[in-house]
Amino acid sequence: MGWRVLCLCMFLGALFMLFNAQNAFVSCALTSQLQEEITRINGEGPYIGLVIPNSFELNPLLQNPAYTPSENIIDFAGRRFRFGSIGDKPVILIYAAITTQLLLSIFNIEGVVHYGIAGNANPSLNIGDVAIPQFWAHLTLWSWQRYGEGPSNTLPLEQNGDYTRNVGYLKFGDFMSNVSWGDSFDNLLNRIWYQPEEVFPVDGIPEQRQHALWVPVDYNYYQIATRLKKLKLDACINSTTCLSTTPKVEMVERGASASIYIDNAAYRSFIYKKFHVTPVEMESASVALICLQQRVPFIVIRALSDLAGGGSSDSNEADIFAPLAATNSVKVVIEFIKLLPSKSPKWSPM
Ligand SMILES: *[C@@H]1O[C@H](CO)[C@@H](O)[C@H](O)[C@H]1NC(C)=O
Ligand SMILES: *[C@@H]1O[C@H](CO)[C@@H](O)[C@H](O)[C@H]1NC(C)=O
């Protein structure tokens, strides 16, 4: 290839990138028409932001008679914002999780309610129960220690405060199968050390980081949610298939999110013993961290649809009971929103 051809290719490549960059910019920009629409919609707020993992959990809400859709729908930045109300509370429905940032940046939001289904790591709760944790953490930020080092060795970047050994570790050698316990085993994968996230609160000093591992849900929301403990939940999928226990709403200590679908009994048991987590899933910690950063009240309601690997050996129960769990999560969310005071603090746009 001669240099002329090469130059032409580079030129076309640059042009292509420029074209795409401009398109991307145009599709994400708030046009003045959209801004007017948003101002009008915000005037009908403040809203509760309902953050939902999938259509699987959205659809039972859309179909529930307690939800009244409004005519407003905004498609923006590749995401859809649906508007409606539950009782006299205006709500905005979005999919999780980082869209929560857009939700809070653009709309008049008084609080965030995140709901859906989850795996259950807590042996004292059952499939079909709805768990409302007090704290959430993201459990897949790790420092992965090199082979040969142990708990007394500092981690890379530990000394300048990036990483810590305070939260604890998982050692792969502790999970050898078919060996008697009590001995220590080596494994080249050594240990992973759990790490808190970095957050930059909206009311903090810009770019001055704080660390957050267990993010508390809003205190008032949690108190209100305790009134749902006697709510009657569905126990049957159809006339013949029912849960073996009566499902209930449970206030629990902790939930955990990770970029992992957990279907593994050993890891389930480990994180329960180490962190006392009940629901395990993939979104709540992101929602919690965004709300923490923005100082917006939030709560998470998760119906337990499977045992995260702790159930019978032949299948993951999510296949059978997930629809029931999704319906129950919607039921609890609706009752929770009905309990919120209708007069909420006035929103002051930035
Ligand atoms: C342990 O060893 C036995 C006998 O070799 C085998 O049948 C069983 O599947 C093994 N269990 C695990 C967890 O590897
Ligand atoms: C009820 O649901 C179970 C599990 O999906 C299914 O196996 C069974 O055939 C269903 N029974 C009826 C009566 O629809």
Annotated domain spans of the chain = 10-43, 46-139+197-339, 142-193
State the chain's maximal CA–CA distance in angstroms: 78
How far, in whole angstroms, is CA 260 from its chain's centroid? 12
Tokens of 242: 């029912």
Mutate to test the pocket of ligand 1, among 178, 264, 269, 313 (most ligand atoms within 8 A of CB): 178
pTM here? 0.87
In the three-class reduction of DSSP (H, G, I as helix; E, B as strand; rest coil), residue 132 is classed as strand
Whose alpha carbon is nearest atom 5 of ligand 1? 178
- pLDDT tens digits, one per residue of 295-347: 999 999 999 998 888 876 555 667 788 999 999 999 999 999 999 997 655 44
The pLDDT confidence band at residue 24, using thresholds 50, 70 and 90, is very low
- pLDDT tens digits, one per residue of 132-155: 999 999 999 999 999 999 999 999
Cα 181 to ligand 1 centroid, rounded to whole Å: 15
Homologous superfamily of 46-139+197-339: Nucleoside phosphorylase domain (3.40.50.1580)
Ligand nearest to the CA of 177: 1
In the three-class reduction of DSSP (H, G, I as helix; E, B as strand; rest coil), residue 69 is classed as strand
- Say how far apart CA 264 and CA 222 lie, in whole Å: 30
Q: Which helix (H) or strand (E) holds 109?
A: strand 109-120
In Å, how far are 136, 275, 292, 296, 350 from 203, measured between CA atoms?
21, 29, 11, 12, 13
